[in-house]
Structure 1
Amino acid sequence: MADGEERGPSIEDDLRRQLEIAQSITHIGSWEWTIATGAVTWSDELYRIYGFEPRSVPITLEFFLSRIHADERDRIEREIQAALQHPGRFAYRERVVRPDGSLRTLDTVGEAIVDAHGASLRLIGTCRDITEVVARDERIRFYADVFEHAEIGLCAFQLDRKHEPPVLRLTAFNAATERLLGAALGGQLGQPLAEIIPAFDAAMQGAARAVAAGGAMQQLAPLRVHAVPGAPILTATLFGLPRHHVGLALEDVTAQVTGQVIQAGERRALEMLADGAPLADILSVVVRAIEQASVDTIASIVLLDETGTKVQHGAAPGLPEAFNAAVHGQPIGPRAGSCGTAMYRREPVIVADIERDPLWDDHRQLARQHGLRSCWSFPILDEEDRVLGSFALYHRAPRDIDDAARELMNRAAHVAGIVLSRRALDEQRRALVGRIEAAREDERTAIARDVHDHLGQALTALKLDVGWLKRRTSDETLLRKLEAMACSTDEILRSIRRIASDLRPGILDELGLRAAIEWQAEDFTQRTAIPCTVRAELTDLELERGLVTNVFRISQEALTNIARHASATRVEVTLGLTHGRLHLEISDDGIGMPEVGPRGTTLGILGMRERAWRLGGECTVKRRLPHGTVVTVVVPLRFPAERLA
């Protein structure tokens, strides 16, 4: 270089500058410690890593150790001593405290430089600031732990577009996924979703592909992965993940779904009970709810007969009719299968294998014929612990009961007990009401007979006496008085006949229901001026007195309601027989009424329903289109006892 020319940066300066830039970019600082002199040097980046301005403080070993976190200081001193005693490469991780109190995590890598005799001369090394890396790794480990230990199943699938339609392949899963699916997935990475979860139908797979392609999160309906006993009911939530992946969250909602199904069944059964529905229909609702909540289960309710010694069929729509017929009438006892024994012992009887259990010795062939292998039975008790029946679950394979099934059966037996107890009370109440009504009808008949016979005869005699007097006097004043007395006597006689008919129409007992209904319609027309036609296809059958009376009273109440509320111009009455049942229909063209449910609140309608129910039939009140109301009564035929003898 010529004299007087300014010298440019040397190669050494360039390298030093490049090193400083590289250290700044990578957050790596370098250091050197000369053992003989104790001198320590730090690079500018190492100063910055420790939170100081470059070359702002003198560095010594003691200063370095003072910046180490107190919990790690002793360990770092041991690391340094080990490096001096065993020259060569070394590495350790340390936490340092900056002047502002913040912590940084460093990875130190160094080497001990030795002389010809192997004695350590100096230590040199680098410190890399890995604080953010450690934090990120900790977050990753945390999320991995959450993923692995989550109680819900978490798994991921990649959208493979090499196929049409694209295939979702398993890429990750946690332990809960294996537990919920009941399968080990370690060897199924890369397998299609449809093979891993066969319950995912085409629509569900389409939804998963849509989410993987960037669609919104989707919540699928609950599904049962495997149709086997004890298999959980799962909810599946699909959510998007990066790089054409879809996440699948699986949660066991067996208890919730089962509870909802059972609650719905219980609510429906109690509504039907309040509505007066047939007992068999109510019990069938309970049975179906339990079957819906269980897998491969057939539910049954049997009743204890009035003698307390025999089984009566209650409801078992899932069992063969031949099996139900064979069970009906069987005696209960200490070895009477599951149900008969449960009612006899007044405690649950669990038979896991019918083929092996001695309780089924007398009934094993019957169960074998219909493919039944296990039966659990819980007695149905009322509030006073009286046995009403038994609730049972049958299976077509040997099966022992678990806690969930035991709780389910307890609940079902409790609800069945409520239904049976309430129905028994209703039947007792209605029987009492029926007896009261019968006594009232008898009293009405007696009063009507007394009024007609005694008062009628007395007034007839009085009328004859008045006529006798009229024939024997010529006094005009007296004749007018006697004529007025005769007219009053006639009016009183008509009133007596009307009162007697209202109490108990004689035609009802003398000529039967058909004639009484026709007379009732004619009387209705005379009183209201509303035409009332009767179409009677009933033959002159001699029907049981209680049936005739109650049907007549229902018709009477219906016509009374029409006269009071309907504003009708025409009434039609139909009386006939349909499939061995008496059928009465009364329709009008009036203003109509809101359709009355089974729990209609008007006393008149309730009374009609009660009368029909006591006869083993039903009474419905419905709107007639385009306007008007229809009252329909259907009851089974009943004949006098002497006719049946």
Structure 2
Amino acid sequence: MNLSTNITSELLIAEREILTRVAVGGPLKDVMRDIILMVEKPSRGEMLASILMMTEDGANLVEGAAPSLPDAYNAAIDGIPVGHGVGSCGTAAFTGDPVIVTDIATDPLWADYKDIALAHGLRACWSMPIRASDGTILGTFANYYRQPKEPTERDLEVIGMVTRTAAIAIERHRNELVRGRAEEQRELLARELNHRVKNLFTLVNALLATSVRAEISVKDYSVAVRGRLDALHRAHELVQPGLSPEASSDSAIPLKTVLTDLLAPYVDEGDKFMLAGSDDLQISSRATTNIALVLHELATNAAKYGALSHPDGKLLISWSSVEDLQIEWSERGGPVPAAPTRVGFGSKLINRVVEGQLRGTINYRWEPHGLDIMIQLPLKSVQ
């Protein structure tokens, strides 16, 4: 049995072992490290291999595994952009084709990166795109050499085999991440539903109480309660992701309309709250649900603990837009506010939507005279 046959046999055995590990599951970095060591072993130190992984936005490549390359070199290329002329790997990820650079010192693809490579004694780099089963680029598999070198047909066969193995491992890992995120989302929705149901009972009780006046008749009381419940229903429709016509429509919605509908259940008199801002400011249908959800939570808190829970309470909401959309929520005349001692689910939900979904910020100021909340959102996230 010749050397080539021995190498092939060793690679096939090692590949089966790694695929078994992939099927069982385990840390992706450990699996990729084993893949690298598997392919490097027959070369006896001549080849130094690397796996770079594509970021989720497809813009950059980050280190997956490169146990034999110098740490300083790995750090220097970690996060390189995907694009033509970004060495072998950045170009391979950009074009989707193998990129064979036989001499880093003279190849134009390495013009901006050759100094760091040559400083670490790297003279050749062959890079192969790693593809998912649907053709999506997952990353790159690269072979480095300390001398200028061209691949043989045998080299390309081995690289292709290792690239397929790496693709299976990375794709499995990504699928597990997707399933994990879906499970987190289901858990969040379940907690949100529980939170809303609790709030709904609290609000209905508050609405019934605030609708009672000594001189009111049963008929008038019924009309008042039914009107408030109907308004609460309209407001609830705005915070149903994708389930209501308002939330799923392609047309933009005036921010003032969203605020008016959300606040309607909590007030009888028109002077209970004041809205100050442009009537023309529109928010996209995609952003409507997120913004309505945040404002609904703030209104719920105001009705339970703040200005909307007190006969003398007043609420002022103003907004403006230049580079960002700024919404200022000010409560006056209600119970003396105090900073919460713990962060409840409602507050966590608000922060998650503002910071995570809308890429904005929210700041609270608890003062002796009332509560001020400033929400700042990038216009591109709401329009």
Q: Taking structure 1 as the reference length, what is the TM-score of the superposition?
A: 0.31
Q: CA deviation at 1:457?
A: 12
Within 5 Å, which residues of 2 pair with 1:47-58? none
User: Which residue of 2, 5, 18 corresponds with 1:265?
Assistant: 18
Secondary structure of 1:355's partner?
coil
The within-5 A match list for 1:512-591 is: none
The DSSP-based 3-state class of the residue aligned with 1:253 is: helix
Distance 2:341 2:119 in 1: 46
**Greater RCO structure (CA 8 Å; 6+ sep):** 2
- Match of 2:8? 255
* Residue from 430, 454, 460 that aligns with 2:180: 430
Quote the offset at 1:446 in angstroms. Answer: 2.5
Give the residue type in structure 2 aligned to 1:395.
Y
> Partner of 1:102 in structure 2?
none
Alpha-carbon shift at residue 322 of structure 1 (Å): 1.8
Q: Contact 1:338/1:350 (CA < 8 Å) preserved in 2?
A: yes
- Structure-2 separation of matches of 1:262 and 1:542: 52
For residue 104 of structure 2, the aligned residue among 325, 348, 354 is: 354
1:364 matches 2:114? yes
Q: Which runs of 4+ in 1 moved over 4 A?
A: 449-458, 540-546, 641-645
Residue 393 of structure 1, CA deviation: 1.1
How far apart in 2 are the matches of 1:544 and 1:416? 43
Please report the RMSD computed on the Cα atoms of aligned residues, expressed in angstroms. Answer: 3.5
Determine which of 270, 291, 300 is the counterpart of 2:40: 291
Q: Residue 342 of structure 1 contacts residue 379 of structure 1 at CA under 8 Å; is this kept in 2?
A: yes
Distance 1:543 1:316 in 2: 42
In the alignment, structure 1 residue 345 sits paired with structure 2 residue 95? yes
C-alpha separation in 1, matches of 2:174 and 2:134: 14
Matches within 5 A, 1:47-126: none
Letter in 2 for 1:412: V
Q: Are 1:374 and 1:398, in contact at CA under 8 Å, matched by a contact in 2?
A: yes
Unaligned runs of 5+ in 2: 209-339, 350-360, 365-375, 377-383
Q: Which residue of 47, 50, 63 maps to 1:300?
A: 50
Tell me the distance in 1 between the aligned counterparts of 2:98 and 2:343: 47
Q: What amino acid is the match of 1:404? A: R
- What do the CA deviations read for 1:535-588 (whole angstroms, capped 9, x no partner)? xxxxx9967959x99xxxxxxxxxxxxxxxxxxxxxxxxxxxxxxxxxxxxxxx
Distance 1:545 1:314 in 2: 36
Match of 1:281 among 30, 55, 68: 30
2:90 and 2:178 map into 1 onto residues whose CA distance is 26
The verdict on how the C-alpha distance between 1:436 and 1:395 changes in structure 2, with shifts beyond 3 A counting, is same
Q: Any stretches of 5+ residues in structure 1 without a counterpart?
A: 1-151, 153-179, 181-231, 234-251, 459-539, 550-640
1:384 and 2:134 matched: yes
Alignment correspondent of 1:9: none
Q: How far is the alpha carbon of 1:312 from its aligned partner?
A: 1.9
Q: Could you report, residue by residue, the CA deviation over 1:465-489 in whole angstroms, capped at 9, with x for unpaired residues?
A: xxxxxxxxxxxxxxxxxxxxxxxxx
Contact (CA 8 Å) 2:15, 2:165: kept in 1 or not? no
Contact 2:11 2:38 (C-alpha < 8 Å) held by counterparts? no
Q: Distance in 2 between matches of 1:376 and 1:298?
A: 11
CA offset at residue 403 of structure 1? 2.2
Tell me by how many angstroms 1:368 deviates.
0.9
**C-alpha separation in 2, matches of 1:344 and 1:420:** 18
Secondary structure (helix, strand or coil) at the match of 1:371 reads: coil
Identity %: 29
Deviations 1:203-250 (A, max 9, x none): xxxxxxxxxxxxxxxxxxxxxxxxxxxxx37xxxxxxxxxxxxxxxxx
Query: 1 CA distance for matches of 2:99 and 2:110?
Result: 12
> Per the alignment, in what secondary structure is the counterpart of residue 63 of structure 2?
strand
Q: Deviations over 1:570-616 (max 9, x none)?
A: xxxxxxxxxxxxxxxxxxxxxxxxxxxxxxxxxxxxxxxxxxxxxxx
Larger Rg: 1
Specify the alignment match of 2:81 in structure 1.
Answer: 331
How far off its partner does 1:394 sit? Answer: 1.2
- Asked whether the 8 Å contact 1:269–1:283 carries over to 2, the reply is no
Listed one character per residue, the Cα deviations across residues 114-142 of structure 1 (whole Å, up to 9, x for unaligned) are xxxxxxxxxxxxxxxxxxxxxxxxxxxxx
Cα displacement string for residues 358-399 of structure 1 (whole angstroms, at most 9, x for unaligned residues): 221211111011111111110011122221210011122222
Equivalent position amino acid for 1:286 in 2: I
- Report how far residue 300 of structure 1 moved: 0.7
TM-score (normalizing by structure 2): 0.51
Equivalent pair of 1:269/1:286 in contact (CA under 8 Å): no
Report the residue type matching 1:380 in the other structure. I
C-alpha separation between the residues in 2 aligned to 1:269 and 1:287? 14
Is the 1:372–1:395 Cα contact (8 Å) retained in structure 2?
Answer: yes
SS in structure 2 opposite 1:368? helix
Match of 2:64 in 1: 314
